[in-house]
Amino acid sequence: MKTMPHTASSVTPVIAIHGGAGTLTRSHISPEQERAYHAALQEVLCAGQAVLARGGSALDAVCVAVQALEDCPLFNAGHGAVFTADATHELDAAVMDGATLAAGAVAGVSRVRNPVLAARAVQQDGQHVLMIGTAAERLAQSAGLAMVAPDYFSTEARLAQLRAAQAKAAGAVLDHDGAAALAARTPEGPLHEGRKMGTVGAVALDARGHLAAATSTGGLTNKRPGRVGDSPLIGAGTYADDRTAAVSCTGHGESFIRVAAAHDVCARMAYAGATLHEASEAVVHQALAAIGGTGGLIAVDRQGNVCLPFNTEGMYRGLARVGQAPETFIYR
């Protein structure tokens, strides 16, 4: 997908979001369902855009957007997260501030309502970058964040998705591939409104020229308990640096970890002089493809250019510049 260049005389704040990439079959989505998905993405974009419009920071904007995505059961993050093989939930999230390179992340949490806010609490605490499990939950609780019982994250659709994957002996599967397994058992197909899936993320550039990124996920359907993917790993699924770009990834996390995908985009720009488009496309279509990695990423650079590449059939995504109408996309 082509980079969307910013051509105004001064940089206009912009936010981009994703809701996951995967095998999204056009034949299994009705016009009504597609409109509902676009409406959800538009609502999230408007929330982040509003933060930037009133002069808020890129970090505030991405956290607001990802929190909204976590609260929407159509996505695999927060309420509506997928199940592990043990029918439990283990959620991961990360945030990074491109101005300072300050970052925070949590992994394997099951009692924090909004994991992205827990990741920001880790960042604000400043002592560590990545906290896991009950210790991360204690830090979140001490920061005054909302706590929930683990079943808050559960939905019947996600449980059905787990059972379908287990019945097919599919192992751990990507969100949309899990939906495809479920579609074989349900007439409405993998993009039924209640089964919209995918790791979520946001990247933004604010009026002061600062970048930020945030990512959140429930992981893989039927994953082995204790598995951690790329989302909370700084440099793999999440990265931001004012000198280059902010990046949030979605897809098969193990592959993104192996190529340090998010940081690789920034490194190609910093050390090889690549443009955002060149760097993003190379990571998705060359580095990831070389090891069979599937998924995509969203990225914004310090000039306000946005790139949203993916190597799957589709990726839920969108962008909104301050003063302009949000744009959302599912397929190419």
Q: Is the predicted pLDDT of residue 223 greater than 70, yes or no? A: yes
Specify whether the CB–CB gap between 137 and 184 falls below 8 A.
no
- Return d(Cα 19, Cα 313) in angstroms, integer: 14
Domain contains 262: yes
Residue 328 designated active-site: no
- Return d(Cα 149, Cα 110) in angstroms, integer: 8
Domain contains 9: no
CATH code of residue 124: 3.60.20.30
How many distinct structural domains can be found in the chain?
1
Q: Compute φ and ψ for 185, nearest 5 degrees.
A: -110, -5
**Residue 66, SS3 per DSSP:** helix
User: What pLDDT digit, counting tens, does each position of 108-152 carry?
Assistant: 999 999 999 999 999 999 999 999 999 999 999 999 999 999 999
Domain contains 1: no
- Return d(Cα 246, Cα 98) in angstroms, integer: 7
Strands 238-240 and 245-251 turn out to be: antiparallel
Q: Of the residues 7, 25, 134, 199, which is catalytic?
A: 199
pTM of the full structure:
0.91
User: What pLDDT digit, counting tens, does each position of 5-31 carry?
Assistant: 554 448 999 999 999 987 666 776 778
Domain contains 3: no
- Please enumerate in sequence order all residues whose Cβ is within 8 A of that of 29, keeping only pairs 6 or more positions apart, or say none: 37, 189, 191, 330
Q: Count CB-CB contacts under 10 A for residue 138.
A: 12
pLDDT for 171 equals 63
Alpha-carbon distances, residue 23 vs 120, 174, 283 (angstroms): 31, 9, 19
Specify whether the CB–CB gap between 58 and 104 falls below 8 A.
no
Domain contains 6: no
pLDDT for 5 equals 58
- Please enumerate in sequence order all residues whose Cβ is within 8 A of that of 303, keeping only pairs 6 or more positions apart, or say none: 6, 11
Domain that holds residue 36: 14-329
User: What pLDDT digit, counting tens, does each position of 54-94 carry?
Assistant: 999 999 999 999 999 999 988 999 999 999 999 999 999 99
Domain contains 310: yes
Domain contains 172: yes
User: What pLDDT digit, counting tens, does each position of 151-180 carry?
Assistant: 999 999 899 999 998 998 756 655 545 454
pLDDT for 157 equals 87
Domain contains 199: yes
User: What pLDDT digit, counting tens, does each position of 257-290 carry?
Assistant: 999 999 999 999 999 999 999 999 999 999 999 9
CA atoms within 13 A on the CB side of 205: 27
